[in-house]
Amino acid sequence: MLVVEKVLAEDILRISGVNTRKCMKCGKCSASCPAFNEMDIHPHQFVSMIERGDIKKLIKSKSIWNCLSCMACVERCPKNVEPAKLIEAVRLAVIRQQGANHLKADKIPALVDERLPQQAIVSAFRKYSK
Amino acid sequence: MIFSYYPGCTLKTKAKSLDIYGKKSAEELGIFLEELPDWQCCGAVYPMAGDEIATRLSSVRALATARNLNRGLVTLCSACHNVLKRVNEDMKTNEYIRTRVNNYLEDDIQYNGETEVYHYLEMIRNVIGFENLKRKIKYPLKGKKIASYYGCLLLRPGKVMQFDNPENPSIMEDFIRAIGAEPVIYPFRNECCGGYITLENRRLAKEKCNTIVASAIEKGAEAIITACPLCMYNLEVNSTELKLPVYYFTELLAEALGVK
Ligand code: SF4
Ligand code: SF4
Kindly report, residue by residue over B172-208, the tens digit of the pLDDT: 999 999 999 999 999 999 999 999 999 999 999 999 9
- Using alpha carbons, select from B157, B163, B167 the residue that is nearest to residue B188: B167
User: How far from B196 is each of A60, B79, B100, CA to CA, in Å?
Assistant: 21, 11, 29
Burial class (CB in 10 A: 0-12, 13-18, 19+), B243: exposed
Residue B129 inside a domain? The answer is no
Is the CB of residue A72 less than 8 Å away from at least one CB of chain B? yes
Same domain, residue pair B105 and B202: no
Question: According to the model, what pLDDT value does residue A36 have?
Answer: 98
The answer to whether the CB of A107 falls within 8 A of the CB of B179 is: no
**B94, amino acid identity:** N
Burial class (CB in 10 A: 0-12, 13-18, 19+), B99: exposed
Same domain, residue pair B216 and B140: yes
Decide whether any atom of ligand 2 lies within 6 Å of the A24 Cβ: yes
Q: What is the CATH classification number for the domain harbouring B79?
A: 1.20.1050.140
Of the residues B120, B150, B169, the one at which a domain ends: B120
Same domain, residue pair B146 and B245: yes
Residue B161 inside a domain? The answer is yes
Same domain, residue pair B115 and B141: no
Same domain, residue pair B8 and B98: yes
- Using alpha carbons, select from B231, B35, B26 the residue that is nearest to residue B121: B26
Question: According to the model, what pLDDT value does residue B26 have?
Answer: 98
Of the residues B120, B152, B182, the one at which a domain ends: B120
Same domain, residue pair B248 and B180: yes
**Domain extent at residue B156:** 136-257
- From CA B29, how far away is CA B18, in angstroms rounded? 16
Question: According to the model, what pLDDT value does residue B204 have?
Answer: 98
- CB within 8 Å: B195 and A68: yes
Residue B128 inside a domain? The answer is no
Same domain, residue pair B248 and B172: yes
The answer to whether the CB of A81 falls within 8 A of the CB of A29 is: yes
Map out the domains of chain A as residue ranges. Answer: 3-99, 102-130
- As a whole number, mean pLDDT of residues B5-24 equals 96
**A107, amino acid identity:** K
Question: According to the model, what pLDDT value does residue B164 have?
Answer: 98
Is the CB of residue A105 less than 8 Å away from at least one CB of chain B? no
Residue B127 inside a domain? The answer is no
A114 HSE (CA, 13 A, CB side): 2
Phi, psi of A5 (to 5 degrees): -65, -40
Backbone CA torsion sign across A114, A116, A121, A122: positive
Same domain, residue pair B110 and B144: no
Where is average pLDDT lowest: A54-63, B94-103, B107-116?
B107-116
- CB within 8 Å: B233 and A35: no
Decide whether any atom of ligand 2 lies within 6 Å of the A67 Cβ: no
Same domain, residue pair B144 and B232: yes
Average pLDDT, chain B: 97
Question: What is the biggest distance separating any 2 CA atoms in chain A, rounded to whole angstroms?
Answer: 49
Residue B209 inside a domain? The answer is yes
Q: Is pLDDT at B151 greater than 90 in this prediction? A: yes
pLDDT truncated to tens, each residue of chain A (130 aa)?
678 888 899 999 999 999 999 999 999 999 999 999 999 999 999 999 999 999 999 999 999 999 999 999 999 999 999 999 999 999 999 999 999 999 999 999 999 999 999 999 999 999 999 9
- As a whole number, mean pLDDT of residues B77-103 equals 97
Nearest ligand to the CA of A43 is 1
pLDDT > 70 fraction of chain B, expressed in percent and rounded:
100
Cα–chain center distance at B159:
17
- CB within 8 Å: A118 and B194: no
Q: List b or e across B58-88, with b for residues whose CB sees 16 or more CB atoms inside 10 angstroms.
A: bbbbbbbbbbebebbbbbbbbbbbbbbbbbb
Question: According to the model, what pLDDT value does residue B109 have?
Answer: 77
Where is average pLDDT lowest: A95-109, B137-151, B215-229?
A95-109
Q: Is pLDDT at B108 greater than 90 in this prediction? A: no
- As a whole number, mean pLDDT of residues B24-48 equals 97
Decide whether any atom of ligand 1 lies within 6 Å of the A30 Cβ: no
Burial class (CB in 10 A: 0-12, 13-18, 19+), B211: middle
Q: Which among A40, A85, A87 is the best mutation to test ligand 1's pocket, defined by most ligand atoms within 8 Å of the CB?
A: A87
- Using alpha carbons, select from A32, A24, A45 the residue that is nearest to residue A87: A45
To the question of domain A3-99 being in CATH 3.40.190.10, the answer is no
Q: What is the CATH classification number for the domain harbouring B244?
A: 3.40.50.11810
Atom of ligand 1 nearest to the CA of A29: 5
Verify cis geometry, omega within 30 degrees of 0, for the bond prior to B157. yes
Q: Which among A22, A28, A30, A86 is the best mutation to test ligand 2's pocket, defined by most ligand atoms within 8 Å of the CB?
A: A28
Question: According to the model, what pLDDT value does residue A104 have?
Answer: 92
Decide whether any atom of ligand 1 lies within 6 Å of the A34 Cβ: yes
**Number of domains chain B is built from:** 2
